[in-house]
Structures are given as structure tokens and as C-alpha cells.
């Protein structure tokens, strides 16, 4: 058993659940240097915070996030609140010397993200942003295949993240369930919420994006804001498509929308190299499609690799070959890597500094769409 590490979770929504599950599971499967202890959960509504604490086994609950920061027994502050709260909480946590795990995207914009990076680096506290799809074993395997040089020079990187849950104009903005549609809470729409995942994975796989050319659209212009009770203009992007050039010379093509009827969370990418190509699909997340032109032509074709063998990323920690894992495991892997990085001094990524690069690309995508122009990303 590793040294106990007291967790203070801020935010009891969807992400609060994925992170709590990860802390509860991680020591059962991974040999980690710390044992997370669910110390306190913080959320806006007292009865919900209490119910969450009981359901997930937190020792206490509060409705005031500052109490979590002031609590000297808390080692890790886990930020699972809407984007507009990330900076204030993370900076206060860093100043109090806490390690920080923060949900994505890092911040509302790059300027805010830079302040967060300064705060964690000044305080020298462990920090990680939760871009969980990096830790799907097939996505990590894709990284290993690219880094091994199997694909050769990379020509194309294309990624999509398609959903359809906001098509009805009756879906409101604001509040606990639909804050992602309120620009004041989210900062942006699909760019920060969905494309940020694609950009994080793409730059991890294929290096920095140098320039972008984007188009965005807001299809439903007004929605009821459940916080104010008024019908208000919608300030987020409902859809975004952008082209880009990576620093290594490859071309990128990214699309995200919440208006792709029939798609709930269709995150896909395809990478085309000189010798080989890779494709992945979140709806079939344990498979990696691979094509290698160097194969003998009579057997050449796309192969569908079932990523469950023990020599594949993370899979030695789970069941037996052929038995797959799913979405929640990406957060268990994240917790394992974060805890191991804290002890080894080799931090798990993306750190705040690395996630700031994704934020810079998001900002540039939005600026490019607003100005209808190609824009260079300044990091």
C-alpha cells in the first residue's frame, strides 16, 4: 500500500464521478506509490454534495471550495467544475501547495492558462490536465507506433468529434446540466469541449500545429438560460471545422459539431504516413486499425488490432487477452500515471504547460474563424 494521499474533489457532476471511480479503483489494479483517500467533496448544493459523499465514500463534504484549499490535510485538489472556475481554484490550490488535477480544457483562454502555468510552476506542485483519451490503450499504442517510425513521414492527420445533443432549440443553456452551452461558463463551444481533445491527442501524436484556418457556426442563436430565467443569445460555437499545418509539414483536417444527427460521441482520427496508416474510433475504442504498405501485396490490407494483449499499453494490469476495457478505465490510467509521476519526479502529461499549447491552438482557431483568415499559433 502506497502512502495515503488525501483528495479534495471540487465538482460532483459527470467528471466528478469519473475521477472518484478512478481513485477508488487505481490501487486495485496498479502498483502506485500513493493510496488516494477520498477526503472531501465540494459542490454547490449541500444535499447533492452530501449524497455524493455517501455514494462514493468521501469522509466529508462542503459547499465552499475555499474550505478545501484551506484544509491542510488535503494533498490533491481535483478540479471538476465548469471552465470559468478552473483558473481561480487552480491558482489558489497551487498557492496553498496542493497537487492539482484539472479537467479539460485548461482554462477559458490562453491568457488565463498562462497564469495557471505560472502559479503551478512557481509553487512547484504536481499538475495534470484531464485529456483522458490519450490513455485509451489503442490511442497510446498509436503514439508508440508513430514514435517507432513505422508510419514514416506523416502526411495527413484528420480527426472528428461529432455529437447531436443540442439540435433542439428547446435545450437550455446554463445550469448544472447545460453549462457547456453558456459562453460565460464554458468560454467556447465545441472548440474547447471537443476539439480540445482532438488537438491534445494530435499534438501528442504528431507535434505542434503551426497555423490554422477555421470556420465556426452557431445554428441556434437563442436559448433559455436556466440561471437567469431569460432567453439569451447563444455565445458558443455549435460547430467548427479547421484546416491546419503541423510544424513537421503534415496537413491536418479537424471537424466537430453537436449537430451530427445520429452521432453521440463519435471521436475518430486517421493518420496517413509514407509507409502505413492508423485509424481509431471511440465507439470501438479497444481496436486500432492499421494498414502497412510494406506487407506482401497478396495479404496487404487494413488489419483491426484488438488492443487487449498484455504487451499493449496498460493491458497487463487488467484481465486476460481478448477481454476489453472501456471509457472509465482511461481515468484509472490517468490516476495511475499522475500518482506515479508525483513520486518519480517525471510528471505525467499533459501538464498545465503542455495543455496550454492546446489552449493556444483553440484560441487561434476561434480567432481564425472570427477573422476569416489563416492564423499562426503563438505559443
Question: Closest separation between CB of residue 265 and ligand SOE, Å?
Answer: 5
Interface size with ligand SOE, residues (CB under 6 A): 5
Tell me the residue number closest to ligand SOE, measured at CB: 193
Q: Which is nearer to ligand SOE, 142 or 194 (CB)?
A: 194
Phi and psi torsions of 34, nearest 5°: -130, 155
Query: Residue 238: which of 213, 262, 255, 253 has the closest Cα?
Result: 255
CB atoms within 10 A of CB 177: 12
Question: Closest separation between CB of residue 182 and ligand SOE, Å?
Answer: 13
CA separation for the pair 256, 193 (Å, rounded): 10
- And the C-alpha cell for 85? 472556475
Question: Closest separation between CB of residue 180 and ligand SOE, Å?
Answer: 6
Q: Which is nearer to ligand SOE, 182 or 193 (CB)?
A: 193
Figure out which of the listed residues 193, 237, 337, 363 binds ligand SOE, where binding follows CB under 6 A: 193
CA dihedral 316, 318, 320, 326 (to 10 degrees): -120
Give pairs for 168-176: CB < 8 Å, separation 24+. 169/220, 169/222, 169/223, 171/223, 172/223, 172/224, 172/225, 172/226, 173/223, 173/224, 173/225, 173/226, 173/232, 173/234, 174/225, 174/226, 174/227, 174/228, 175/226, 175/227, 176/13, 176/44
Question: Closest separation between CB of residue 193 and ligand SOE, Å?
Answer: 5
Q: Which is nearer to ligand SOE, 92 or 361 (CB)?
A: 361
Question: Closest separation between CB of residue 188 and ligand SOE, Å?
Answer: 12
CB atoms within 10 A of CB 16: 23
Q: Which is nearer to ligand SOE, 194 or 214 (CB)?
A: 194
The DSSP bridge pattern shows strands 239-246 and 209-217 to be: antiparallel
Q: Which is nearer to ligand SOE, 6 or 163 (CB)?
A: 163
Question: Closest separation between CB of residue 276 and ligand SOE, Å?
Answer: 28
Q: Which is nearer to ligand SOE, 154 or 162 (CB)?
A: 162
Q: Which is nearer to ligand SOE, 285 or 377 (CB)?
A: 285
Question: Closest separation between CB of residue 133 and ligand SOE, Å?
Answer: 7
Q: Which is nearer to ligand SOE, 231 or 265 (CB)?
A: 265
Figure out which of the listed residues 44, 111, 169, 265 binds ligand SOE, where binding follows CB under 6 A: 265
Does 238 engage in binding with ligand SOE (CB under 6 A)?
Answer: no
Work out whether the CA dihedral 369, 272, 152, 314 comes out positive or negative: positive
Binding residues for ligand SOE restricted to 2-61, rule: CB under 6 A: none
Q: How many CA atoms lie within 13 A of 2 on its CB side?
A: 20
Question: Closest separation between CB of residue 201 and ligand SOE, Å?
Answer: 12
The DSSP result for 248-305, as a single string, is TS-EEEEEEES--TT-SSEEEEEEEESSEEEEEEGGGTTEEEEEETTS-GGG-S-EEE
Q: Which is nearer to ligand SOE, 130 or 241 (CB)?
A: 130
* Per-residue contact string for residues 126-165; x = within reach of ligand SOE by CB under 6 A: -------------------------------------x--
In the chain, where do the E strands start and end? 3-10, 34-42, 60-62, 76-79, 99-103, 127-130, 154-162, 209-217, 222-225, 230-233, 239-246, 251-257, 266-273, 276-281, 287-292, 303-306, 375-376
Question: Closest separation between CB of residue 91 and ligand SOE, Å?
Answer: 22
Q: Which is nearer to ligand SOE, 162 or 214 (CB)?
A: 162
- And the C-alpha cell for 99? 497537487
Question: Closest separation between CB of residue 212 and ligand SOE, Å?
Answer: 21
> What are the residues binding ligand SOE (CB under 6 A)?
163, 180, 193-194, 265
Amino acid at each position: 500500500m502506497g502512502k495515503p494521499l488525501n483528495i479534495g474533489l471540487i465538482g460532483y457532476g459527470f467528471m466528478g464521478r469519473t475521477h472518484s471511480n478512478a481513485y477508488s479503483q487505481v490501487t486495485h489494479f496498479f502498483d502506485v506509490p500513493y493510496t488516494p483517500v477520498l477526503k472531501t467533496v465540494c459542490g454547490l448544493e449541500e444535499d447533492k454534495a452530501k449524497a455524493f459523499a455517501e455514494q462514493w465514500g468521501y469522509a466529508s463534504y462542503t459547499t465552499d471550495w475555499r474550505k478545501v484549499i484551506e484544509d491542510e490535510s488535503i494533498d490533491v485538489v481535483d478540479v471538476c467544475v465548469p471552465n470559468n472556475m478552473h483558473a481561480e481554484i487552480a491558482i489558489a490550490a497551487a498557492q496553498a501547495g496542493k497537487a492539482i488535477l484539472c479537467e479539460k480544457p485548461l482554462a477559458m483562454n490562453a491568457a488565463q492558462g498562462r497564469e495557471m502555468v505560472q502559479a503551478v510552476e512557481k509553487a512547484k506542485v504536481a499538475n495534470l490536465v484531464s485529456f483522458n483519451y490519450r490513455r485509451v490503450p489503442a490511442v497510446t499504442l498509436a503514439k508508440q507506433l508513430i514514435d517507432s517510425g513505422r508510419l514514416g513521414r506523416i502526411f495527413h492527420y484528420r480527426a472528428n468529434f461529432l455529437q447531436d445533443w443540442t439540435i433542439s432549440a428547446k435545450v437550455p443553456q446554463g445550469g448544472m446540466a447545460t453549462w457547456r452551452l453558456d459562453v460565460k461558463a464554458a468560454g467556447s463551444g465545441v472548440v474547447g469541449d471537443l476539439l480540445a481533445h482532438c488537438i491534445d491527442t494530435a499534438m501528442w501524436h504528431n507535434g505542434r500545429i503551426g497555423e490554422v484556418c477555421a470556420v465556426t457556426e452557431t445554428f441556434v442563436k437563442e436559448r433559455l438560460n436556466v440561471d437567469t430565467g431569460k432567453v439569451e443569445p447563444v455565445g458558443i460555437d455549435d460547430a467548427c471545422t479547421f484546416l491546419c499545418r503541423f510544424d513537421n509539414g503534415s496537413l491536418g483536417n479537424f471537424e466537430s459539431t453537436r449537430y451530427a444527427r445520429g452521432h453521440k460521441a463519435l471521436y475518430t482520427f486517421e493518420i496517413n504516413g509514407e509507409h502505413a496508416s492508423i485509424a481509431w474510433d471511440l465507439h470501438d475504442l479497444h481496436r486500432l486499425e492499421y494498414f502497412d504498405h510494406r506487407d506482401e501485396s497478396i495479404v496487404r490490407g487494413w488489419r483491426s488490432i484488438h488492443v487487449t494483449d498484455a504487451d499493449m499499453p496498460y493491458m497487463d494490469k487488467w484481465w486476460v487477452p481478448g477481454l476489453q476495457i472501456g471509457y472509465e478505465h482511461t481515468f484509472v490510467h490517468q490516476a495511475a500515471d499522475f500518482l506515479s509521476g508525483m513520486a518519480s519526479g517525471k510528471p505525467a502529461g499533459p501538464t498545465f504547460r503542455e495543455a496550454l499549447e492546446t489552449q493556444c491552438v483553440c484560441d487561434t482557431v476561434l480567432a481564425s474563424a472570427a477573422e476569416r483568415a489563416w492564423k499562426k499559433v503563438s505559443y
